[in-house]
Amino acid sequence: MKNLKNLIIEKTRKIITEKGVDCPTITLNSEFLNDLPMDSLDLATLIVSLEISTGLDPFRDGFKTFHTVDELINLYTEANS
């Protein structure tokens, strides 16, 4: 599987640029809903598209909170192990 970190950052950037807005630098500490021009539907789109390309669903057994890019990477890494 492609490096999860790169995949998540790449897909996040794609979702933002498809909205027609400039994408700021995405760091591991970037908070999706505070630091990036994303709303809750954009975040849902990211999760769906990650599931389509990785087959992983870290939320299958219930909600897990995350705010930052790093926290999301950790959830996918755990689901992949």
- Asked if residue 41 binds other proteins (CB under 8 A), the reply is yes
Smallest CA-to-CA distance from 18 within 60, 46, 40 is with 46
- Asked if residue 49 binds other proteins (CB under 8 A), the reply is yes
Judged by beta carbon, residue 9 or residue 43, the one nearer other proteins is: 43
Residue 69 has a CB neighbour count (10 Å cut-off) of: 21
- Asked if residue 18 binds other proteins (CB under 8 A), the reply is yes
Q: How many residues bind other proteins (CB under 8 A)?
A: 8
Contact call for residues 68 and 29 (beta carbons, < 8 A): yes
Report angle CA 36, 18, 58 to the nearest 5 degrees.
60
**Integer Cα distance of 30 and 57 in angstroms:** 22
- Asked if residue 60 binds other proteins (CB under 8 A), the reply is no
* Residue 64 Cβ vs other proteins, minimum distance, rounded to whole Å: 18
- Asked if residue 39 binds other proteins (CB under 8 A), the reply is yes
Q: Which residues bind other proteins (CB under 8 A)?
A: 18, 39, 41, 44-45, 48-49, 52
